[in-house]
Amino acid sequence: MTALRRALLVAAGAALGGLFRVVLAVFLPVAADDPALVAPALLVVNVSGSLLAGFLRGLALGEERKGRDPSGLEATMVVGFCGGYTSYSAFIGSLYTGLAGHLPWTIALAAATVVLCPIAAAIGMRGSGGYPPRPAQDSAG
């Protein structure tokens, strides 16, 4: 796959993922007229995105084992869609905002995000039969 094709696939997936994130974690709380919903909505976005990314990464690993090239699926859906759908900076921003107000609630949401996202990814990988054998491949991105 050429670098340009990969960039276009990542961009297309990310644009869609970003749109979903903004609708769920920005527009819905605004529509409900309750800014306090932003942080829990973001938790749902990040955990569900990690679950989907784990599932898709498992599918990609399965394709690799069959000798097929999963780079298109990875670029569009894992790096692009899931990467654009979930957001670390929004998580940090919600921590910053929350620490000035509801400290215990903010710490609970932060801990839930840090713990639940990897667990969701592991569940997703198990769901698609791609839970990494030990030792696993380096798969950042």
Partner 1 sequence: MLAAGDSFPDLAGLAPALLAPLGTALGAVVRDGLVRGARARLSRADLGLAVAQVVACFVAGLFAGGGAMALAFCVAGFAGGLSTWSSLAVDMVGWWRERRLGLIAFHGAGVLALSFAAFVAGRALGGGAA
Binding site for partner 1 (CB under 8 A): 6-7, 10-19, 21-22, 26-27, 46, 49-50, 52-54, 57, 75, 78-80, 82-93, 95-96, 113-114, 117-118, 120-122, 125, 131-141
CA separation for the pair 137, 125 (Å, rounded): 14
Q: How far is the CB of 76 from partner 1 (least distance, A)?
A: 11
Choice between 2 and 137, CB closer to partner 1: 137
Q: How far is the CB of 113 from partner 1 (least distance, A)?
A: 7
Choice between 16 and 108, CB closer to partner 1: 16
Burial label for 139, CB within 10 Å (0-12, 13-18, 19+), is exposed
Reduced to 3 states (helix: H, G, I; strand: E, B; else coil), residue 66 is: coil
CA separation for the pair 136, 55 (Å, rounded): 16
Q: How far is the CB of 46 from partner 1 (least distance, A)?
A: 4
- The H or E element containing residue 140 is none
